[in-house]
Amino acid sequence: MMLIFAHMPEQIYSPFTAFNFSNHNCFLTGQTLSSEEEKIQVFPQWLMSRYKLEDKSFKLLDESMATYKDIKVPCAADINETYLEPLETEIATAFEIGYEAVKNLDELKLFQWAGKLLYGIIFNEIQSGIKLQHSQGEEFNISQAIIHKFSNLHLMLQSLNLPVVFEDFKPYSLFLFKVDNNIEEFGYRDEINTLTFSLRIKDFGLIICLQDNGANRRYHKEILEKIESEILHPIQFEEFCGRVFYSAYLFNRLPEYNILPVGDNIYIEAMPLRGMSNKPVFDDWINKVYGQVLESFWKNWGFLLLEIIKNPEKPMSFLFKPDGSLINEKEIELPR
């Protein structure tokens, strides 16, 4: 019996297969561009204008400095116009209003937006890595595990322009809080090895682990139940942020997916995280290491590691009192 496919699903683009990071191809679809000038900003213009970021310096992994406005990716004009600009407009409108509007956004759109931003940074990191190694006459080297994560993120970003369906799972953990911020502050962090992103602006704080199939959200379930509906002081948000960035580092699985084209759609199905290994999904939590993470997240307030882990069993916390009850943000006498 002959099977005739009326519609073959559209082609998924895998830049990591041929390792193509040139400015001649669209970062999202791989289509050939008309010129090397066909680019978009990684940090959207509305965000840079709002927080005066254009000329602020942005440090790449190889220690080289760029400015926020230098960080761009090659992108086909029609792809930008059809898929990226509408997403950007919707996110910008919600972010300008604040927490309530962000809470009402489709989570997938927040994932796509954060994923596009983080992938844009990865793209720039890879380009500068390739340049550096070639200038030293070496082949560009990157670990297979990292390629695995980055290419899965890129695959999922194509839910922007292809009919991708996530089959009964979310590829990410998303955390959103109402935060009593200093309204002019732009608090942004990313950790590209663990694909973790956080943003603290207006009256909210957002954290997304982009490639964990919801594992970090499950890991922090008990704390979340206590704090998710509260208004947080910035130092409380940064504390929870530190916990998530650290647990994302402890997460020791590389999620695997099946890709199933059915009709016009491309179904992505997650393989169980437990997989072949008997060891727990997260490595052991070590308070001293967590303390070092907190020290960097609390830089604004100047707490040092020695103070933070004075009691190694119970690191300093602005979220919980020694008896485990929640500290009200109004009781915290620190600058915002």
Per-residue CA distances from 177 to 2, 29, 204, 208, 238 (Å): 54, 34, 6, 12, 11
Q: Which residue has the tokens 């509408």?
A: 86
Q: What is the pLDDT of residue 10?
A: 63
- Reported confidence tier of residue 322, pLDDT bands at 50, 70, 90: very high
Q: How confident is the model at residue 5 (pLDDT cuts 50, 70, 90)?
A: very low
The domains of the chain are located at 15-144
Predicted confidence (pLDDT) per residue in 72-110, tens digit: 999 999 999 999 999 999 999 999 999 999 999 999 999
CA nearest neighbour of 88 among 60, 27, 47: 47
Beta carbons of 38 and 75 less than 8 angstroms apart: yes
Model confidence, pTM: 0.94
The 10s digit of each residue's pLDDT in 14-54 is: 999 988 899 999 999 999 999 989 999 999 999 999 999 99
Give dist(CA 235, CA 181) in Å, integer.
Answer: 10
Confidence band for 241, pLDDT divided at 50, 70 and 90:
very high
pLDDT value for 62: 78
Tens digits of residue pLDDT in 155-184: 999 999 999 999 999 999 999 999 999 989
pLDDT of the residue at 4 = 41
Give Dmax over CA atoms of the chain in angstroms: 75
pLDDT at 170: 97
Residue 8, pLDDT above cutoff 50: no
SS (H, E, C) the chain: CCCCCCCCCCCCCCHHHHCCCCCCECCCCCCECCCCCCEEECCCHHHHHHCCCCCCEEECCCCCEEEHHHCEEECCHHHHHHHHHHHHHHHHHHHHHCHHHHHCCCHHHHHHHHHHHHHHHHHHHHHHHHHHHHHCCCCCCCCHHHHHHHHHHHHHHCCCCCCEEECCCCCCEEEEEEECCCCCCCEEEEECCCCEEEEEECCEEEEEECCCCCHHHHHCHHHHHHHCCCEECHHHHHHHHHHHHHHHHHECCCCCEEEEEECCEEEEEECCCCCCCCCCCECCCCHHHHHHHHHHHCHHHCCCHHHHCCCCCCCCCCCECCCCCECCHHHCCCCC
Q: What average pLDDT does the segment 252-263 reach?
A: 92
Q: What are the beta bridge partners of residue 261?
A: 266
Q: Taking all residues of the chain, what is their mean pLDDT, rounded to a whole number?
A: 93
| pLDDT band of 64, cuts 50, 70, 90 | confident
